[in-house]
Structure 1
Amino acid sequence: MSPDAPVATATAAPAFVAAIGPYLPRTHIAYFSMEIALEPRMHTYAGGLGVLAGDTARAAADLELPMVFVTLMSRQGYLRQSFDAQGNQFESADPWVPEAFVHPLRAKVAVLIECREVWVRPWLYRLHGRLGQPVPVLLLDTDLPENSPEDRAITSELYGGDASYRLRQEIVLGIAGVRVLHALGFEITTYHLNEGHAALLGLELLRRYPLPADTVGAGELGFDAGPVRRSCVFTTHTPVDAGHDRFAYDLYERLLPGYVDSGQVRLLAGPDALNLTRLALNLAGFVNGVAVRHAEVTTRLFPGYDVRAVTNGVYLPDWVHPAFATLFHRCSNCWVHDPETLARFDQLPDGDVWQAHAQARGDLVAFVADRTGVALDTQLPIIGFARRMTAYKRPMLLFTDTLRLRAIHAKAPFQVVMAGKAHPHDEAGKQLVRQLHALSRELAPQIRLVFLPDYDLAAARALVAGCDLWLNTPLPPLEASGTSGMKAAANGVLNLSVLDGWWVEGCIDGVTGWSLGEEHDDGAASRKLYDCLEQVVLPLYHRNRAGWIGMMKQSVSKLASYFNAHRMMRRYAAEAYLQHRGSAIRTATDQPAGRSPPPVRAA
């Protein structure tokens, strides 16, 4: 592939200038993410990674950080989940209408995939926080008449298809994403990779710094990686092996022939397979995990790299129930911009806090009734559990011993609401969904167990605000962060969680919630869970309401004041972004000596 792929620049039409022009002078940080949750009706996200990216963008807007966000269009969404009477999960496309939300820009770039020009067009979404100016989000789209039917579908289905389809998507995100930014006129100095999906952008940048031929020996990298490392930030999100994308080198060579020699890529991405996480680690000057524990785990997985910790946070204005937002305003009139002022929340009257929670719980009860037809009891505590349905999340841990669970319920009744999607290729995850539906029938009518279908932003907002106890039971140390628990804590919902991810930092046992320790054995972990529910959690709820409300207030004042997206983005700005200022990657018109700028075509 020629390094000078065709680029179609934006025309100077007034509509284009009005759309993108205001962002150009003040934007020099580009954040790449395969998925970003922008609005509930825009199905451009699959789960926690995308929801975090959306929270990141909103906090960046509030803080007026000079950022642009890049993602894929994903016209058919991730998946729409439905069940039959036995709880078998069925997946269907979850399309949305781009024209209702985003504006097409008059710029196109091409990448060569299997020696074919694949044209990519960006669409613009203006994302607003609660303060400050909006930030631009560019959604990359290959559904263009210039492309073949196969290539038009590349940006159709989020995380769909086989390895070839996934690598094509990551070519568009990483390689075409960089070219789109240049074609639009952005002068980017810092590229932030949210997970390894965009790691190929490092190769695109690397090709701007070839070493002279006489300095390259056998097996050496033929590029100067220093400028690239000074311009790249990489956030890794998973200690789970399956979460790190790997591709066979013969597939890489077939899709990107002549792009960067695979022998040189092996030096950066691993000898056996194109490991995008390792590629990103080798081409980023700042690498971080998403919690202190996760950074430690990542260092063990990838020894030799300096992996720092920037613990995740959530965008509170989007996740706090309106009744709690009203209380927050009583604590501080600047809590949206300075969430640390919520440390004063524990001074509010108990009655006001409980009344706000009752409103949030009533909304959850109504939501569950609307989606499932099940009527929850407004007087009984609600245990919430919502995660991707996969084995290491251990959603069945609560139901290991149903006889004991029934006995606990007889003394201190409760109800359970669960939700989550299994990946279409995760048969073990689908089996978990079937088992939970069977348990719902088995435990009825004594214990209400409700499984919400098609878990989405609306369901998440209702559940994290309206339940009483947030349960999290992953197999440690496989929890990278766990932002759903942060959202619950911001609403005064108490966490009962395995000591992993963010909870290592947030748990003060008996004050902000409770720890289930770090048990790997399911039997021992379930016994500890039952003991905690029977002896501590449920008796406190039923017999000591003042004590429960006191912990709710501590949850907000100690956790929401810290585990928020504004704190997270201030840390990224100070620790990751500032070090890259002045070290911009050269643009298309600032080529190394002896190279010509890429050819330009009109849009």
Structure 2
Amino acid sequence: MNNLFLYMIDEKYSTRVAYFSMEFAIDQALKTYSGGLGFLAGSHMRSANHKKQATIGVGMLWSFGYYDQTRNEDNTMKVEFRRKFYYFIEDTGTRVKVNISGKPITVKAYLLPGNIFETAPILLLTTDTLENDFLSRTISYKLYDANEQTRIAQEIILGIGGVRVLKKLGIDIDVYHLNEGHALPLAFELMKDYPDLEELKKHIVFTTHTPEKAGNEEHDINLLSDMGFFGELDAKHIQNKLNYHDKNFSLTVAALKLSKRANAVSKIHHGVSNKMWSFIKDRCEIVSITNAQNMHYWADKHLLTYLQEHEDYQLIAYKKHLKHVLFEEVADQTGKIFDPNTLTLVWARRFVEYKRPWLLIYDMERFRKLVNSKDYPIQIIWAGKPHPNDYRGISMFNEIVMMSKEFKNVAVLTGYELKLSKLLKQGADIWLNTPRWGREASGTSGMTAAANAAIHFSVDDGWHAEFQKDGINCFTIFHADPKLPIAEQDRQDYLSMMEKLENIILPMYYNDEKQWISIVKTSMTDVMAYFDSSRMVDEYYEKLYKFGLDSDTKNETLKGSKSTDMK
């Protein structure tokens, strides 16, 4: 694997890192992601390239992606799985064997070269190869397969298979980064090289992304052991080594015990995570590294030019052009013609209950008055993907679809992937975020919306709490007391949201263009200053990767930094 890197490694970032993630949102053409975790990983890989870091991504090549969100005849969402084909990735020629349930399975490694999408090099693993039988091939068919044993098998392939592929390619790694706990089996594979637990920990770091139970997987430890999750080690050995004897084995708990340091993804999430995992004995420190996005990819270059030139009329005119481009998609999908001169509010993200996509229609009579107003017209767009087996999320999506049929100025779009996400952020005037407080670890979609002249209107959670200057660079929904019953929190948050929308946001848009544009420009300036992922990837090196490395390791790392290869 000569010339794996197509740039000279910056000595500042010469610690050799393998970034393991179950999903990467790199480009619309590469269906290896489902949502925010993938968007974050994609931005990380882009900024690693731009900063010339010695980082390589390791992920999975999903034959059928996450799923294709299309429509039934009644306009409700339909889940479809279509095989994907990619001619821009390269077969490395590398194959390794990984045992799952005692059966050897071939793992094939592809390379996404860094020059294709301006990223760090990314290795993509698959079991969908002729050497395997049908059942083994299906392991890498679908991202986040709902079958528990398939999901565990995917994690074994990513973790153990990823380490073995790196070794077979002759790529030396100093630090293995677990982006969530999915690739945890890599730690058990590394125990062959580092049998001493404290030595092992020097080479593993961990990012926890959510306080939600579904994002912190647990499985029966005997099932994990039987399937080969612990590699060549048995469950009892792992339990004793980690002093962790729960029958339900938490990937997050184990990751916190196996890492030299971990990070939460916002300052609020940092507090939530430390409280949530305070019971764990011998866990590593959890620090805060606030998420960010790669603005070189996400921000419209013309908008940034008009921001720098201080020509308000050009920024306003071009924003209306971008709205018109989005509205072509709205018309194509829904048959509704939207007006670029009308304030457009967008709610778009993963469809899950705690994010409250339904908060705007909490009171339908009030909603009707809002969307039928002649004084302050509004257009509203929803978009997002529930998990294909989250029937409650699908039901929420479909209920909003059916509700939208009543209104010419309310639309629900399908296919919320990178391309549509860009269109929505560039075409929105208001980007609405409505999670229950304390449950949105970061919520990065609003960062890229703000960079595209959409004002962030959000509950004061996640990254927004660090960014917000209410009425100056955003609009904030100050959260209800989290000690209240959930129903009362929802009611109070709804009233706070509607009060600000009806009495501040809409009147300002139509009556005070100067103030509106001032908020837009301050928002763009502030978000570009701190929430670009170039800052984030620098913090990962300083706070995680370099932490705890002994001088010998550092010296060896620096010796190899002049090479364009990672060997």
Please report the TM-score for the alignment, with normalisation by the length of structure 2. Answer: 0.90
Measured in 1, the distance between the counterparts of 2:305 and 2:245 equals: 52
Give the conservation status (yes or no) of the 8 Å contact 1:27–1:187: no
In the alignment, what sits opposite 2:180?
195
* Residue 115 (structure 1) shift: 1.5
Structure 2 Cα separation of the partners of residues 32 and 122 of structure 1: 14
Amino acid at match of 1:513: C
- Map of 1:309 onto structure 2: 288
RMSD, aligned α-carbons: 2.3
Q: CA deviation at 1:259?
A: 2.2
- Distance in 2 separating the partners of 1:566 and 1:161: 35
Which residue of structure 1 lines up, in the alignment, with residue 541 of structure 2? 573
Question: Deviation per CA, 1:28-75, whole angstroms, max 9, x where unpaired?
Answer: 210000010122111111111111111100000000000110000101
User: What letter is aligned with 1:454?
Assistant: G
CA distance in 2, matches of 1:117, 1:177: 15
Other-structure match for 1:506: 467
Q: In the alignment, which of 228, 231, 238 is matched to residue 210 of structure 2?
A: 238
Aligned mate of 2:337, from 365, 375, 379: 375
Q: CA deviation at 1:373?
A: 2.8
- 8 Å CA contact 1:420–1:455 kept in 2: the answer is yes
Stretch moving more, 104-113 or 371-380: 371-380
Q: Give the 3-state SS of the residue equivalent to 1:326 in structure 2.
A: helix
- Asked if structure 2 preserves the Cα contact closer than 8 Å seen for 1:281 and 1:287, the reply is yes
- Paired residue for 2:402? 438
Structure 2 counterpart of 1:146: 131
Which has the higher mean CA deviation after the structures are superposed, 505-514 or 152-161?
152-161
Q: Alpha carbons of 1:425 and 1:515: their partners in 2 closer, same or farther (altered >3 Å)?
A: same
Which amino acid is the alignment partner of residue 365 of structure 1?
Answer: F
What's the offset of the Cα at 1:406? 2.7
Cα distance, 1:371–1:127 mapped onto 2, change above 3 Å? farther
Deviation for aligned residue 1:108: 1.4
Indicate whether 1:289 and 2:257 are aligned.
no
Partner AA of 2:186 in structure 1: L
Distance 1:20 1:533, change over 3 A: closer
SS of the residue aligned with 1:515?
strand
Which whole-Å deviations, capped at 9, do the CAs of 1:208-262 have from their partners, x for residues lacking one? 233xxxxxxxxxxxxx211221111111101101111111122112212872221
User: In the alignment, residue 349 of structure 1 is paired with which amino acid?
Assistant: E
Give the residue type in structure 2 aligned to 1:464. Answer: K
1:300 is aligned to: 275
* Distance (whole Å) between structure 2 residues aligned to residue 568 and residue 418 of structure 1: 29
Q: Which amino acid aligns with 1:430?
A: I
User: Aligned partners of 1:369, 1:318: CA distance in 2, in Å?
Assistant: 26
CA contact (8 A) 1:416 1:449 kept: yes
1:537 aligns with 2:512: no
**1:323/1:360 contact within 8 Å kept:** no
The residue that corresponds to 1:10 in the other structure is none
2:50 alignment partner, one of 40, 59, 62: 62
Higher mean alpha-carbon deviation, 361-370 vs 137-146, is at: 361-370
Task: Tell whether the 8 Å contact from 2:59 to 2:124 is kept in structure 1 after alignment.
Answer: yes
Q: Are 1:470 and 2:449 counterparts?
A: no
Deviation of the 1:581 alpha carbon = 4.4
Distance 1:560 1:258 in 2: 44
Equivalent in the alignment of 2:562:
none
Tell me the alpha carbon deviations over residues 322-367 of structure 1, each in whole angstroms, 9 at most, x when there is no partner. Answer: 3214336x46xxxxxxxxxxxxxxxx13223212322221221122
2:485 is the counterpart of 1:517: no
Q: CA deviation at 1:382?
A: 0.5
Q: Percent identity?
A: 33
The amino acid of 1:90's aligned partner reads K
Q: What residue number does 2:232 align with?
A: 259
Q: Which moved more, 1:254-263 or 1:200-209?
A: 254-263
CA distance in 1, matches of 2:475, 2:449: 14
Task: Name the counterpart of 1:322.
Answer: 301
Q: Is the 8 A contact 1:188 1:584 kept in 2?
A: no
Pick from 351, 356, 364 the counterpart of residue 318 of structure 2.
Answer: 356
Contact 2:178 2:207 in 1 (8 A): yes
For the pair 1:386 / 2:348, whether they are aligned, the reply is yes
Cα distance in structure 1, aligned partners of 2:85 and 2:8? 25
> What's 2:199 paired with?
227
Is 2:328 the partner of 1:366?
Answer: yes
For the residue of structure 2 that corresponds to 1:153, the secondary structure is helix
Residues 61 and 125 in structure 2, CA contact (< 8 A), matched pair in contact too:
yes
Q: Which moved more, 1:406-415 or 1:465-474?
A: 406-415
Amino acid at match of 1:56: H
- Aligned partner of 1:248 in structure 2 is 220
The one-character-per-residue Cα deviations of 1:178-231 (angstroms, maximum 9, x if unpaired) are 111011011100111111111111111123233xxxxxxxxxxxxx21122111
Q: Which runs of 5+ in 2 are unaligned?
A: 481-485, 555-567
CA distance in 2, matches of 1:277, 1:554: 38
d(CA) in 2 for partners of 1:113 and 1:81? 31
Q: Indicate whether 1:50 and 2:38 are aligned.
A: yes
Q: Secondary structure at the match of 1:561?
A: helix
- The Cα shift of 1:584 comes to 5.9
C-alpha separation in 2, matches of 1:87 and 1:488: 27
Q: Assess if the C-alpha contact under 8 Å between 2:15 and 2:545 holds in 1.
A: no
> Match of 2:157, as an amino acid?
V
Shift of residue 157 of structure 1? 1.1
Instruction: Find the aligned partners of 2:16 and 2:444 in 1 and give their Cα distance.
Output: 28
State how far apart, in whole Å, the 2-side matches of 1:359 and 1:37 are.
26
For residues 144 and 364 of structure 1, the distance between their equivalents in structure 2, rounded to whole angstroms, comes to 40
Amino acid corresponding to residue 108 of structure 2 in structure 1? R
| One-letter identity of the residue aligned with 1:426 | D
* Residue matched to 1:113: 100
Q: Relative to 1, partners in 2 of residues 1:515 and 1:200: Cα closer, same or farther, differing over 3 Å?
A: same
Question: Counterpart of 2:58 in structure 1: which amino acid?
Answer: V
Q: Distance in 2 between matches of 1:163 and 1:53?
A: 24
2:18–2:177 contact (8 Å) kept in structure 1: yes
**Which residue of structure 2 lines up, in the alignment, with residue 339 of structure 1?**
none
Distance in 2 (CA, whole Å) between partners of 1:48 and 1:88 is 23
Q: Is the counterpart of residue 490 in structure 1 residue 451 in structure 2?
A: yes
Q: Which residue of 1 aligns with 2:412?
A: 451
Q: Is the 8 A contact 2:4 2:121 kept in 1?
A: no
